[in-house]
Amino acid sequence: MTLRTDIEPATDTDTEPRQSPTIRVMATTQLDEAEPIAPGPQRDQVGMDFAADQVVFELEALSCYYGSFRAVRDISLQIPRNQISAIIGPSGCGKSTLLRSFNRMNDLVDSARIEGRILYHGVDLYADGIDPVEVRRRIGMVFQKPNPFPKSIYDNVAFGPRVAGFKGDMDALIESSLRRAALWDEVKDKLRTPGTALSGGQQQRLCIARAIAVEPDVILMDEPCSALDPIATLKIEELMRELKENYTIVIVTHNMQQAARVSDVTAFLTMGDDRAGYLVEMAPTDTIFTRPANKLTEDYITGRFG
Amino acid sequence: MTSTTRQQAAPSADLVRRAISGKRVDIGARAFEGVLLLSLVAALAILVTLMADVIGRGWVIYAERGVDFLVSANSRDAAQAGVGQALFGSLALMAIVALVAFPLGIGAAIYLEEYARDTPFTRFITVNIRNLAGVPAIVYGLLGLAVFVVALQDLTGPNSNGRSIISGGLTLSIVVLPIVIITASEALRAVPGAIREAAFGVGATRWETIRSHVLPYAAPGILTGTILAMARAFGEAAPLIMVGGAASFVAAGDANLWEQLFGPYMAMPTLIYNWAGLPSQDFRALTAAGIMALLTTILAVNAIAIILRNRYARRW
């Protein structure tokens, strides 16, 4: 017997102010089948549908486990191409776990496993015969804490192309990567100095340059600004807006202002009674922040919890 | 102190000074500090006494014979006996340890830290490697006797009943293997997981990650640990006595280096052990001089380890 949270929509959608959906916790004996969460009052679904050719990731009832602990429960959503998708939610709700399942980074944790499917351009990332190394080459990652290699700036950016067997003009690739990461002007005269000697914000842009040097399709960002000051944060956000022309970006953040500032679509996750994170709703960012369909979302973005 | 204090005028400087000045005499803390200091002094005093005693007895040998003592072969005649053969034996043993224990130990550590899944079995192995590091060296000596001297005699020394430098070196390798594995594991573990994630994140394989990042960054730590293990092996007498490194006299024949590896030998600790057991007073000074040579070598090796560690130490 396990507790399950179901969300019941408000019945009256005509009167103002809008009634928030009520939440009912009820006991149920079966868990595995994901019941579609009932529609909110103004939109007809929890997730968003995009045109098929615009979908980069499609999650089908994804659950992530660490050993017997379920960190993420039954998430189904789509990530659109060349847009910035933000995943927000309170601490511990599985945002990072979810993000790290997108490029099989969780494979590195012995006890981690998933249920459900993640389709990347229609291909199941966890199917037999999929090489996680090739997956990560196409789906790059920028981490919470800047983690440059204790090597020169040049070698930091060059490592990815080298292991990928890049045979072209390395110097040109380094320059273009650093330019696209808006770091070139600051480091062009000291490419041989250690990347670890840069400031925190520069280190994070170096990590972004390192990620884009292998010409990925997607860049996953796991709270990329949480260790940075506001000015460095703004620079990274500016950079993200530029990068989305060429890349699909998924960013996990616990900073709602950041999600509101940079993202095109936002997915809000929260934690159930079983401490597993689940998707409350996903919508265009301005909709989430102005007309959230779910009371939980509203409470979170107005700072009432989280 | 009540909340009304807030509304009163600010206290005068004089009042504040009186409140925060003064010396508290904590007898317990002082006594504890004294005991700690005494422990340090006692430990150092024992060491200094030992060194002073050894140097006092042995110095005369170096004063009279100088380098001759370090290069001469052993002899029944105290005036002629030197540590030359034993130094050669010990250095040859070290070379074998370096060739055998380091690759094996570092390889095992890389496997345990980077490849093995974290299962109860892996943890069992890790705990037991730590236990093995605490097993007395004489036990490894018995193992070496059974395996390298007796069972593998045809390989390790067909003409010396297996009592060869090869047998001794292999035995010492086993003695220090757990230490090498443990120190190398710790050095690998000290490389932050974020570095591995960064490498995996740009599409590196596990081996590329280890070769390009984890190993280079852990190298100073691994090196320090293995050099210290080397110093430990240099000073071990017990296992060598078991596997035949305690020969009193080795004929200084015309065997070449390769043949010597498979022949009888002596090592510094065992030579000192032998000399110390001789009844003749003349060998007292020789023993002390031998100990000086041994300690100097070990101190030098440790100093190299410390210098390397300080030079390449990495902060994350």
Q: Does A160 touch chain B (CB under 8 A)?
A: yes
Mean per-residue pLDDT for B163-181?
92
Q: Do B201 and A148 touch (CB under 8 A)?
A: no
Is the pLDDT higher at B309 or at A97? Answer: A97
For the beta carbon of residue B259, count every other beta carbon within 10 angstroms: 12
What is the ipTM, given to two decimal places? 0.80
Least confident range from A22-36, A284-298, B267-281: namely: A22-36
- Per-residue confidence (pLDDT) for residue B314, from 0 to 100: 66
What is the rounded average pLDDT of the residues A45-61?
Answer: 85
- Confidence grade of residue B283 (pLDDT, cut at 50, 70, 90): confident
Among A110, A145, A149, select the one facing B213 at the smallest CB separation. A149
Per-residue model confidence as pLDDT tens digits over A88-103: 999 889 999 999 999 9
Whether the CB-CB separation of A72 and A278 falls below 8 Å is answered with: yes
Domains assigned to chain B: 87-266 (1.10.3720.10)
For chain A, domain boundaries: 2-301
Cα dihedral: B78, B83, B84, B88 (round 10): 150
Average pLDDT over residues B225-253: 80
Using one digit for the tens of pLDDT, what is the confidence trace for A212-252? Answer: 999 999 999 999 998 888 888 998 999 999 999 999 999 99
B247 pLDDT band (50/70/90 cuts)? low
Per-residue burial over A278-303, b if 16 or more Cβ lie within 10 Å, else e, is bbbbbbebebbbeebbbbbbbebbee
Classify each residue of A49-61 as buried b or exposed e, where b means 16 or more C-beta atoms within 10 Å of its C-beta: ebeeeebbbbbee
Give the containing element (helix H, strand E) for A88. Answer: strand A84-88
Give just the sign of the alpha carbon dihedral B228, B232, B233, B234. Answer: positive
CB pairs under 8 A between A and B: 68
DSSP class of A122 = T
How far, CA to CA in Å, does B46 sit from each of B53, B56, B269, B288?
A: 11, 15, 21, 17
Quote the minimal CA–CA distance from A160 to chain B in Å. Answer: 5
B25 has a pLDDT exceeding 50 = yes
Q: What is the mean pLDDT of chain A?
A: 84
Judged by CB atoms closer than 8 Å, whether chains meet at B196 and A108 is answered as yes
Q: Encode A219-240: b = buried (16+ Cβ within 10 Å), e = exposed.
A: bbbbbbbebbeeebbebbbebb
CA B279 to chain centre: 32
Architecture of domain A2-301: 3-Layer(aba) Sandwich (3.40)
Which amino acid is present at A166?
Answer: F
Residue from A102, A105, A149, A156 whose CB has the most chain B CBs within 10 Å, to mutate: A149
Determine which helix (DSSP H) or strand (DSSP E) holds A86, and give its type and residue range. Answer: strand A84-88
Strands A69-80, A112-120: pairing is: unpaired
Given a contact cutoff of 8 angstroms between Cβ atoms, the answer to whether B261 and B166 are in contact is: yes
Interface of A with B in 209-268 (CB under 8 A): 210-211, 213-214
Measure B229 CA to nearest chain A CA, in Å: 28
Distance from CA of B215 to the nearest CA of A (A): 13
Percentage of the residues of chain A whose pLDDT score is greater than 70? 85
pLDDT at A12 over 60: no
Q: Nearest Cβ partner of A149 from B117, B119, B198?
A: B198
